[in-house]
Amino acid sequence: MPEAQERGGPLSHIRVLDLSRIMAAPWATQILADMGADVIKVERPGAGDDTRSWGPPFLRDAQGEPTHEAGYFLSVNRGKRSLTIDMTKPEGQAILRQLAATADIVIENFKAGALARYGLDAASLRAVNPRLIYCSVTGFGQDGPRRDQAAYDFAIQAMGGLMSVTGERDGMPGAGPQKVGVPIVDLMTGMYATVAVLGALAHRAETGEGETIDLAMLDVQAAFLANQAMNWLVGGNTPKRGGNRHPNIQPQDVFACADGHLVLAVGNDGQFRKLCEAVGHPEWGSDARFATNAGRVRNNAVLTPLLSGAFADLTRDELTKRLDEAGVPCAPINTVPQVFDDPQIRHREMLRHLPHPLAGTVPQVVSPLRFAEAPLRFDRAPPTLGQHNAEILAELGLDAAAQADLAARGVL
């Protein structure tokens, strides 16, 4: 893979055959691509990944006209090469088996058992390539009573308990269950998939053996209920929506100031004492009701109005300055544009503009990973549909005439 090696990064020696679409598994393959892996994204001829059409907004070309590249697609497919293949055709299946034979990893998110009919399931491809790491991402896994059901992030947030602990508490304005503002189950599933295949790569390096990974979104959601799950398992009480209040640590909430709101995230008793001194009430820090975190949690109904009263006459900037100087964790509630105008985000170059064949450049929120010895390079924008057909097929030994024949028969 000469081109892949030129890209650099800790995975520049790895090839990934990406048979996934939408968000969860593509998030994983984008992480792998950011780390230098050669990711070949297989898409349906003429249509591509569903998310290409999930707009507006759509990327605009050099003339200001909208393209067919939706912002949703652009958020999750950086660094990949696009190959259009109709996997329902024997010729398409043969090409994918050729690619699997040279791949290190296959990631797919079809319904359980769906790829077996094409000979592209884990057993079939690992027969071709025993060292292959094959990761299947589904809503509910490869077995169990729900294995054949489709799943989307929103539904799993509901079914998996997340929405039962997200949203304003009953009796308050705006009360009711809420989903998280980004597709968090998809993103976390992608992260778990990345961890899983990297673990399998490490195991293969020691044993020479490939692996088959079964990853379910509902399992992921149950796993990252984290402290809320343990609150029930240990305490016996069903966790409920608490708005922005932390169930175990106080004061952690959204507070109003004279001209806006900020988040207060006190994490220990020392920080609480510093908070009290910063707002002119050092006596609260030694008050028996508030001196310990357990006391503040039990007496939060008393503490919150006291803090709200102390904050009410201070501007957000003034309060933030006082708390920052005192070493008390706090933060303004930024809009998305404000995030990318933050001097720290700008310094870290989290927003970059990559060359794009239609638009000239495309904005990308890049990986937060920083490697000193194998730095990441962001040099490949999310691909247009089939952009790399000729390149990839030539690597398999198919000349222009053979490619034209496949295209004429609807395989590409």
Angle in degrees, 0-180, between the axes of helices 316-326 and 269-278, rounded to the nearest 10: 130
Task: Name the one residue in this structure whose structure tokens are 């995975």.
Answer: 11
Amino acid at 249: I
Q: Hey, is 190 helix, strand or coil?
A: helix
CB 412 within 8 A of CB 390: no
The answer for residues whose C-beta is within 8 angstroms of residue 127's C-beta and 6 or more apart is none
Among 145, 94, 144, residue whose Cα is nearest residue 120: 94
Q: Maximum CA pair distance of the chain? A: 83
Measured CA to CA, the distance from residue 111 to residue 44 in angstroms comes to 16
Measured CA to CA, the distance from residue 73 to residue 37 in angstroms comes to 19
Integer Rg of the chain from CA: 25
Measured CA to CA, the distance from residue 262 to residue 257 in angstroms comes to 7
Q: Is the preceding peptide bond at 251 cis, omega within 30 degrees of 0?
A: yes
Q: Hey, is 41 helix, strand or coil?
A: strand
CA of 192: how far to CAs of 29, 215, 287, in Å? 12, 8, 44
**How does strand 38-43 pair with strand 80-84?**
parallel
Task: Name the one residue in this structure whose structure tokens are 């638009």.
Answer: 359
Measured CA to CA, the distance from residue 138 to residue 151 in angstroms comes to 8
Measured CA to CA, the distance from residue 406 to residue 412 in angstroms comes to 6
CB 165 within 8 A of CB 227: no
The active-site residue out of 34, 38, 104, 186 is 186
Measured CA to CA, the distance from residue 24 to residue 48 in angstroms comes to 16
CB 107 within 8 A of CB 29: yes
Beta bridge mates, 365: 351
121 annotated active-site: no
CB 251 within 8 A of CB 272: yes
Q: Hey, is 316 helix, strand or coil?
A: helix
Q: Catalytic positions, please?
A: 186
